Structures are given as structure tokens and as C-alpha cells.
Homo-oligomer: A and B are copies of this chain.
């Protein structure tokens, strides 16, 4: 119960950083059960022809470890 793992995730969105965070969080929820927290680490963007085409977020996700036996 008291032991958790910290995983670093990067996520991208064409809309904005908030959307990238939500996509990353949603995607992480599929792989990592029992997420208890997250932290935004970095906000970047990819630019093409003078326009931001991809919002990039790096975030840490904390999730409780489940026993392998169970």
C-alpha cells in the first residue's frame, strides 16, 4: 500500500499544453493502475512555418505498486 513508483511520461497535442497533459494522463491510466499523483516537469512546443504545431509536455506520474503474486 505504501510503496509507489515514479514514471516519467512525455505527451504531445496539437491543441495546447493542457490537452497534452490530459492525453498523457489518460494514456498513462491505461498502463498504470492506481495512479496517486502527477507533476508537470517541462513544457515545450514544436514550430513549423511560424506556427506551433505540437505542444509537448514532460510529466512524472506516481502510481502504487501492485504485488506480482496478486
Binding site for B on A (CB under 8 A): 2-13, 20, 23-25, 27-31, 35-40, 42-48, 50, 52, 54, 58, 62, 65, 67-69
CB contacts (< 8 Å) of A10 on chain B: these are 3-6, 62
Tell me what chain A mostly uses at the interface: helix, strand, loop, or mixed.
Answer: strand
CB contacts (< 8 Å) of A68 on chain B: these are 30-31
Report how far A20 CA is from B1 CA in the complex, Å. Answer: 12
Say how many copies of this protein the assembly contains.
12
Shortest distance from the beta carbon of A23 to any chain B beta carbon, whole Å: 6
Contact of A8 among B5, B23, B36 (CB under 8 A): B5
Query: Which residue of chain B lies nearest to A7 when distances are taken between CB atoms in the complex?
Result: B5
